[in-house]
């Protein structure tokens, strides 16, 4: 739901500059809500896409809109962008970047990253902290340097979220030093 929240905020700012986005609002919000339903971290990508197709064809979107949603969510992950670059989605390019940037902004939640590490690895609190810290240093804190944000709103907000994440890292580092 954080991705939807961020997508809405980015949309509200970007629609003023790119009014064509009014025609893509449903695509943006749908993509934001279901983007992880085909993420290989959670599910087989092919099966996830098939489930999405089945779910969305019940009068929620047109066939073209469903195709665009599938293109957005199957190409927006950090690793896919780093490996393949951005897809060319024509008039839907801005919609794509809104959803992708919303997902990147959601990544600044350090506690969420630690929880994911617990789930994935099942290790100790220290191991989850160390893994999350490495991910933030190697990836999340480099989003701006890697020019992953196109909207001014996302660039500005990512700076604030970076500060908050660093504060959470500091908190956890202090807590772990107490050997809870």
- Domain hosting residue 40, numbered range: 1-106
Give the residue among 57, 52, 64 at the shortest CA–CA distance from 27: 64
- Report d(CA 177, CA 71) in Å as an integer: 45
Instruction: Examine the fold and report which residue of 87, 106, 125 is the final residue of a domain before the chain moves on.
Output: 106
Cβ atoms of residues 55 and 81 within 8 Å: no
Residues 33 and 100 in one domain: yes
Angle at 68 between CA 22 and CA 8, to 5 degrees: 40
- pLDDT tens digits, 66-85: 899 989 998 999 989 999 99
Residues 81 and 100 in one domain: yes
**Whole-structure pTM value:** 0.88
How far, CA to CA in Å, does 32 sit from each of 65, 70, 172, 180?
Answer: 14, 11, 29, 37
Residue 43 banded pLDDT, cuts 50, 70, 90: low
- pLDDT tens digits, 134-172: 999 999 999 999 999 999 999 999 999 999 999 999 999
Residues 51 and 6 in one domain: yes
Cβ atoms of residues 149 and 104 within 8 Å: yes
The pair of three-digit structure tokens given for residue 39, joined into one six-digit string:
């993420």
Residues 6 and 38 in one domain: yes
The pair of three-digit structure tokens given for residue 162, joined into one six-digit string:
């970076």
The pair of three-digit structure tokens given for residue 135, joined into one six-digit string:
């991910």
Instruction: Examine the fold and report which residue of 106, 124, 153 is the final residue of a domain before the chain moves on.
Output: 106
């Amino acid at each position: 739901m954080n991705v939807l929240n961020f997508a809405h905020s980015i949309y509200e700012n970007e629609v003023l500059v790119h009014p064509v986005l009014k025609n893509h609002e449903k695509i943006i919000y749908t993509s934001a809500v279901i983007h992880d339903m085909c993420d290989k971290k959670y599910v087989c990508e092919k099966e996830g896409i098939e489930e999405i197709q089945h779910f969305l064809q019940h009068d929620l979107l047109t066939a073209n809109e469903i195709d665009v949603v599938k293109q957005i969510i199957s190409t927006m992950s950090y690793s896919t962008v780093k490996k393949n670059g951005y897809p060319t989605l024509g008039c839907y390019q801005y919609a794509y970047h809104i959803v992708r940037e919303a997902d990147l902004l959601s990544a600044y939640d350090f506690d969420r990253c630690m929880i994911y590490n617990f789930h994935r690895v099942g290790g100790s609190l220290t191991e989850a902290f160390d893994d999350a810290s490495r991910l933030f240093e190697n990836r999340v804190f480099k989003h701006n340097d890697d020019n992953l944000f196109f909207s001014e709103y996302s660039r500005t907000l990512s700076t604030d979220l970076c500060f908050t994440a660093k504060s959470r890292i500091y908190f956890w580092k202090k807590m772990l030093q107490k050997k809870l």
